[in-house]
Amino acid sequence: MPNKKIEEFIDSHREEMLEDLKTLVRIPSMRGEALPGKPFGEAPARALDAARGLMEKYGLHTTDYDHYVVTGDFNGEEKQLDILAHMDVVPVTQDWTVTQPFEPKVVGDRIYGRGTADDKGPAIAALYALRALKECGLELEKNVRLILGSDEECGSSDLVHYYGIEQEAPMSFTPDADFPVIHIEKGRLEKAFTAAFQEKADGASVLEFHGGDKVNVVPANAWAKVQGLTADAVQQAVRQDETGVQFAVEEKDGCVKISAKGLAGHASTPELGKNAVCALLGLLARLPLADSPRTAVFQAAAKLFPFGDYAGSALGVAMQDEISGALTMNLGILDFDGQTFTGHFDSRVPICGTDETVTQTIRKKMEAAGLAMEEGAMLPPHHVPADSDLVRTLLSCYELYAGVKGEPKAIGGGTYVHELKRGVAFGCMSDDVDNHMHGDDEFMLIDVMTMSAKIFAEAVCRLCGVRSEKREEGK
């Protein structure tokens, strides 16, 4: 049964919770230039200081790890659980409509502002879970540590620093993803590949190609210039296209420019986008270009990354397993300046994938096509068994408040705990709500934040243990 005293405390402190979140959201904690004692710049350091002040205010013993991370310990007992959240945020645009990014605003059942969902709101939910336990008089048998970092959005070097000093807890979770529990995160193989030619562009040939700017995004735009063909010849190939990508053809200065407009998406779910780079490669492969090394490379790339091949079949790496799903492949960037051809792909790899079956297979395919792939291994998949005490306990806490059966999930993306042996992602979002994370008008549902605090409090009690006499007083 839920702890009614904890529930009542969190409900009665709802407004304080929102005010504390506003304090953090007002700090524009995007990564900046490193300064002495401030490795990620002024604003992330200020956000850590503000968060540390809140943790101390609510009774946690805090430690500053060189302004990479600040932590708050519940007690001095043996550590059992780490809860990891982050204070840094992604950049903003000027296109917000409800409020400005760093001017938090409550509208109805939502609080708007950069970081409300990712990850300051979830961090406040975790803090209030611990505050509720403290102020309701519950004593834990083991310690829980709240870890707040400042570089999650740019590579998590904050955790590299922290875990270079401290040991991983027996159990960890991050409230920086979805409920119910994410226990599998696919591996990631992100590599560049290149080719270079010295010959002059004679006859019908590609002069330039540019598409995409982030490897982990399905590119929505790409363009190329070709010489030696008429606009009508290119239009004939466009009319045969079946990708659904929109093409525009313009003849100018003795060459033809071809622009492709697709649909952006995340590299972990490339099937939800329309890859403009792959579509344009396929169109170029259908044009009557002159035989040459550069034409051969474009045609080879079109064969290796055909439009609609989200599984890496053409690269020989299509695979899947029952618990983590299928491999995904996204060609995110392609550039050619007339001499150097460079591409960049992002593959999310299920548990069954290895460097031998994925990395080396792709490398051999590319070498055969005249492309050189950069060295290095893939980031391996992350997996905490579904029948582990951690996963089963977190699921039961979620079910207690959500009122529905929860099943552990696998994702193609990565979270703050990807490189921890015993870490999972747990809340605070759900698939049925688009809270514009990383986008304009980001928001957090206030009821979700308060429910998450209750779920986290219950999880801490179950994982860290509560002295029986104190637990009775708390009911």
Query: Residue 463 contacts by C-beta under 8 Å, 6 or more apart in sequence?
Result: 80, 81, 144, 171, 389, 390, 393
Three-state DSSP at 328 gives strand
Element holding 227 (H helix, E strand): strand 221-227
pLDDT higher than threshold 70 for residue 13: yes
245 in the same domain as 332: yes
The CATH number assigned to the domain holding 33 equals 3.40.630.10
Looking at residues 397-412, what average pLDDT do you find?
A: 93
286 in the same domain as 193: yes
Query: Are residues 10 and 117 in contact, defined by beta-carbon separation less than 8 angstroms?
Result: no
248 in the same domain as 212: yes
231 in the same domain as 209: yes
Looking at residues 35-63, what average pLDDT do you find?
A: 98
Interatomic CA distance for residues 87 and 28, integer angstroms: 10
Band the pLDDT of 468: cuts 50, 70, 90.
low
pLDDT digits (tens, 9 = 90+) for 348-376: 999 999 999 999 999 999 999 999 999 99
pLDDT digits (tens, 9 = 90+) for 111-170: 999 999 999 999 999 999 999 999 999 999 999 999 999 999 988 999 999 999 999 999
The DSSP 8-state label assigned to residue 76 in this structure reads S
pLDDT digits (tens, 9 = 90+) for 252-268: 888 999 999 999 988 99
101 in the same domain as 14: yes
238: containing domain: 187-373
| Whole-number pLDDT of residue 470 | 47
Mean pLDDT of the chain: 94
391 in the same domain as 363: no
Which amino acid makes up residue 209?
Answer: F
| Whole-number pLDDT of residue 471 | 42
Helices (H), 250-359: 276-286, 293-304
Q: Which of 316, 341, 373 is the last residue of a domain?
A: 373
Query: Are residues 138 and 470 in contact, defined by beta-carbon separation less than 8 angstroms?
Result: yes
| Whole-number pLDDT of residue 431 | 76
Q: Which of 328, 349, 373 is the last residue of a domain?
A: 373
Q: Which of 327, 342, 373 is the last residue of a domain?
A: 373
| Whole-number pLDDT of residue 249 | 97
187: left (phi over 0), alpha (psi -120 to 50) or beta: beta
Query: Residue 57 contacts by C-beta under 8 Å, 6 or more apart in sequence?
Result: none
Looking at residues 229-248, what average pLDDT do you find?
A: 95
| Whole-number pLDDT of residue 360 | 98
pLDDT digits (tens, 9 = 90+) for 194-206: 998 777 778 999 9
| Whole-number pLDDT of residue 28 | 97
Least confident of 66-75, 174-183, 423-432: 423-432
The CATH number assigned to the domain holding 248 equals 3.30.70.360
301 in the same domain as 265: yes
Looking at residues 270-290, what average pLDDT do you find?
A: 96
Band the pLDDT of 9: cuts 50, 70, 90.
very high
Cα separation values, 264 from 104, 261, 456, Å: 28, 9, 34
332 in the same domain as 239: yes
391 in the same domain as 328: no
Query: Are residues 148 and 85 in contact, defined by beta-carbon separation less than 8 angstroms?
Result: yes
Provide the sign of the torsion angle of the four alpha carbons 355, 361, 365, 368, taken in this order: positive
pLDDT higher than threshold 50 for residue 301: yes
358 in the same domain as 400: no
Interatomic CA distance for residues 343 and 345, integer angstroms: 7
In a 10 Å sphere around its CB, with 0-12 CB exposed, 13-18 middle and 19+ buried, how is residue 259 labelled?
Answer: middle
| Cis ω for the linkage preceding 385 (within 30 of 0) | no
Q: How many domains does the chain have?
A: 2
Query: Are residues 181 and 395 in contact, defined by beta-carbon separation less than 8 angstroms?
Result: yes
362 in the same domain as 286: yes
358 in the same domain as 245: yes
pLDDT higher than threshold 50 for residue 474: no
